[in-house]
Structures are given as C-alpha cells and as structure tokens.
Amino acid sequence: MNFFCRNIILINVFILSLCKYAYSDEQKIINSLSACADYNYSRMDFSKLDEKTYENDVNYIELKKKLDLLGEKREKLSEIYRLEIEKYKEENPEPVMKKYTKKEWEYQTSWITNKNKALSSFKSDIDKIVIEINNFKEIVSEDIREVIFNYLENTSDEFKIKNVNGYSDRFRNCEGNYNHYPISFMLQWSKSS
C-alpha cells in the first residue's frame, strides 16, 4: 500500500511539473505576442492610434500646445499671403487671354513671374513655417510612439485587447506570424530571461 501511495504521489508531482512547464511555455508565447503587438501598435499611422494611450502624457500636452501655436502662426501667415495676392491683383490685373497667342502667353508668363517675385518673401515665410511644423510633427510623433509603447508594456493583455482600439488586430497579426514562423518569431520577440 505504501508503494502504491508513493507512486501516485510521484505521478501527480510529475503531471503537475509538466503542467507548470506547459503553462510556462504558453505564457512565454503570450508575452512574445504581446511584445510584438505592442511594438506594431506603437508604429501604426498616427491617425489610427487610440488617443487614450497618450492623451494624459505631460510631454505630449506641452508639445501639442507648441504645435497648435505653430499652426496658428501658419494660418496668420496664410491670411497675410492671401491678402497680399489680392492686393497685387488689384494693382496689377491678371491678363486675359483671348486667342492664346504667343504674345499673350509671354505676357501671362511675365505677369506670373512678376507676381511670384513680388510675393516671394511672404511665400518663403509660409514655406519655413510649414517645414518647421512638419519637423515638429515628427518630434511629437516619436514622443507619442514612445509613450504608447510604455503605456502598452505596463498594461495587461486583456485590458489592451478589450479597451485599446486597433490593438486586437495587431495581436491577431502577430498570432498569424507566430503560426507561420514560430521559431523565428520567438527568437525575435521573446524577452531574454
């Protein structure tokens, strides 16, 4: 009887250790899928990201204010440019082309060239602010991607899938990649212990 009880206990311990090992492997796979989905979600197009993943970040709020100020500056410059175009057209009416002759084309081309020269300083100011806005948007975008990645890393998988718009699609894409190439997927996305 003692031998029988001892064997049952050993069998139970063996089965429990197998279950623990299987659970451990399953958890590694889930963690790898989550790491893949977190990264891919944080690299999505900005317009598709769920705002709740970054809206409370202090750095984002400051950068957004600066970006809004640059946008207002661009709008003011655009309005000044528009008014200057109207003023130029009042002072120098655009030629009307009736027959589209060579002389009319030359006159039209000359008028456009003169207009562009006269308004070039206003146009260059707008071009500068547009370049500045685009560069600033890149900075904001990189900051948001980092904030989103940190947010997702510190949130449970269940919460992310249920509450972050678009996250479950990224998770499913990673599952598909895992199913097609499990070894290389695990080598790429599993975290070293």
Q: Where do the domains of the chain lie?
A: 2-76+129-189
Q: Is the dihedral of CA 141, 146, 151, 156 positive or negative?
A: positive
- Cβ burial of 130 (10 Å; 0-12, 13-18, 19+) is middle
Q: Is the dihedral of CA 119, 120, 125, 127 positive or negative?
A: positive
Residues in the chain: 193
- Give pTM, 2 decimals: 0.60
Share of the chain above pLDDT 70, in %: 86
pLDDT at residue 7, rounded to an integer = 55
pLDDT at residue 152, rounded to an integer = 87
- The mean pLDDT of the chain is 82
pLDDT tens readout for residues 175-192 = 999 999 998 899 889 875
